[in-house]
Amino acid sequence: MREVAIIGVGMTKFGKHEETLLEMFGDAVEEALLDAKVSPKEIEAVFFGNCLGGFEEGQMNISPFGASVLGLKDIPTTRFECACATATVAIRYASLSVASGCHDIVLAGGTEKTLVMGTPFATRTFAMASDSRYEGFSGITFPGAFAMMAMLYSKQYGIPLKTLKERMAMIAVKNHRNGARNPKAHFRKEITIDDVYNSMMVADPLQLYDCCPFTDGASAVIITTLEKAKKLCPKPVVVAGTGQGSAGSLLDQKDLPRLRAREVAAREAYKQAGLTPKDIDVCELHDCFTIAEIIASEGLGFFDHGKGSEAVEKGETDIGGKIPINPSGGLKARGHPIGATGAAQVYTIVKQLRKEAGDFQVDGAKVGMVDTLGGDFSVVCNLILKRGW
């Protein structure tokens, strides 16, 4: 397998967009192409992420149109859909296609336009990422599933719910603080712990500010061989390891606060990269709810199981901390356009490693990790990125 590197990244500002799915994608790709200094003609394949185009714009089979918008003709274009992990999976396959010698330069990314649906319909369509046979009609929603996870976490590790709630609120505060420094974030407003406590209850113990928003946006990544990358740009970012894991419905999950799919995915990514959690300098992970950030920080091996919330209280996940988590603001503040989220996480890590993250830069970040969770725990995709210079 050949070594693979990212040479260009782009993303729209996340938030409310009037542009269409493909217009947003075009904007993100244009930025990525300019960043990589390659012309559209050089792109050999498109790995396209989108979850709900059928419901958002009556558009299935979106990948060829995504390519044609950029004047990319004839080349293989494929739509990937793995719920919230969609774009990360697309980038993983794009990387494998280059690693294997199948292609030399490819484009991967995603686009999503959830706000056009309005909250009730968006909630219903998002819920289709859970197991429709057993979950939806029994009344389990995503906030409900993560609320149960929080309750179970509190009980399993003997952390009083009051303490856990306060630490979860600290995550919301941290991610909003980070998002306020990120010009592309959906929410650029700092909040306080009291704001979290005073927000609407969604699913006990999760309040509104424990939940990430619906968001519109697109993001894109240009990938080539490390050999070629070194000739094309001064700061290629190596895709050092990738991992992907799966699990069935909630019924199949034996130990909810420890997600098998993540452990499998992370293990594979670390193995491929020849690295351990201690080597990671910065991480963008899947904080769809504040409890999800705690669970992920443990699953990726940054903290022992049951210790993730304590680490938040100690500031270890702050931008200046031991392992800065979600310096972009995460799903919570940068926003969560599902099929585009993974590529936005990659965008952030690439900017961090290149020291181009501006006000939310993590000093001296050389190795970064991306973690994206799809559905209620059924898909996890991890990428480990490192400096290639």
DSSP 163: H
Q: How far is the CB of 22 from its own copies (least distance, A)?
A: 7
Q: Select from 13, 14, 97, 297 the one that contacts its own copies (CB under 8 A).
A: 97
User: Of these residues, 17, 288, 336, 381, which one is catalytic?
Assistant: 336
Shortest spacing between CB 115 and its own copies, in angstroms: 18
How far is the C-alpha of 83 from the C-alpha of 312, rounded, in Å?
27
In the list 34, 118, 119, 132, the residue contacting its own copies (rule: CB under 8 A) is: 132
Per the annotation, the verdict on 84 as an active-site residue is yes
Burial of 327-351, coded b for 16+ CB within 10 Å and e otherwise, reads bbbbbbbbbbbbbbbbbbbbbbbbb
Neighbours of 201 (CB within 10 A): 11
Helices 86-99, 338-353: crossing angle, 10 deg rounding: 60
Q: Which of 1, 189, 192, 363 binds its own copies (CB under 8 A)?
A: 1
Among the listed residues 13, 176, 181, 260, the single contact to its own copies using CB under 8 A: 260
The verdict on whether 283 is a catalytic residue reads no
Q: Is 87 in the site for its own copies (CB under 8 A)?
A: no
The Cα 107–Cα 112 span in angstroms is: 17
**Distant-in-sequence, close-in-space partners of 103: CB < 8 Å, separation ≥ 6:** 44, 45, 97
CA pair distance 159, 168, nearest whole angstrom: 12
Within 206-365, residue ranges assigned H as helices are 226-232, 260-273, 290-299, 308-313, 330-333, 338-353
384 binds its own copies (CB under 8 A): no
Query: According to the binding rule CB under 8 A, does residue 199 interact with its own copies?
Result: no
Binding segment for its own copies (CB under 8 A), chosen from 108-116, 123-131, 278-286, 288-296, is 123-131
Site membership for its own copies, residue 14 (CB under 8 A): no
Residues 30-69 interacting with its own copies (rule: CB under 8 A)? 46, 51-55, 57-61, 63-65, 67-69
How many residues touch its own copies (CB under 8 A)? Answer: 62
Does 180 contact its own copies by CB under 8 A? no
Judge contact between 324 and 283, C-beta under 8 A: yes
Nearer to its own copies, 80 or 360 (CB): 80
Task: Check residue 109 for interaction with its own copies (CB under 8 A).
Answer: no
Closer to its own copies at the Cβ: 75 or 208? 75
**In the stretch 281-310, what mask flags binding to its own copies with x, by CB under 8 A?**
------------------------------
Tokens found for residue 245:
């894991």
With CA atoms as reference, report the closest residue to 226 among 342, 108, 387: 387
Contacting residue, 96, 148, 208, 232, with its own copies by CB under 8 A = 96
Residue 203 to residues 82, 93, 149, 193, 200: CA-CA distances in angstroms? 25, 36, 11, 18, 9
Distance between CA atoms of 72 and 41, rounded to whole angstroms? 7
Q: How many Å apart are CA 379 and CA 372, to the nearest integer?
A: 8
Positions that interact with its own copies (CB under 8 A): 1, 20, 22, 46, 51-55, 57-61, 63-65, 67-69, 73-83, 89, 93, 96-97, 99-102, 125, 127-133, 136, 244-249, 252, 260-261, 264, 374-375, 378-379
- As annotated, the active-site residues are 84, 336
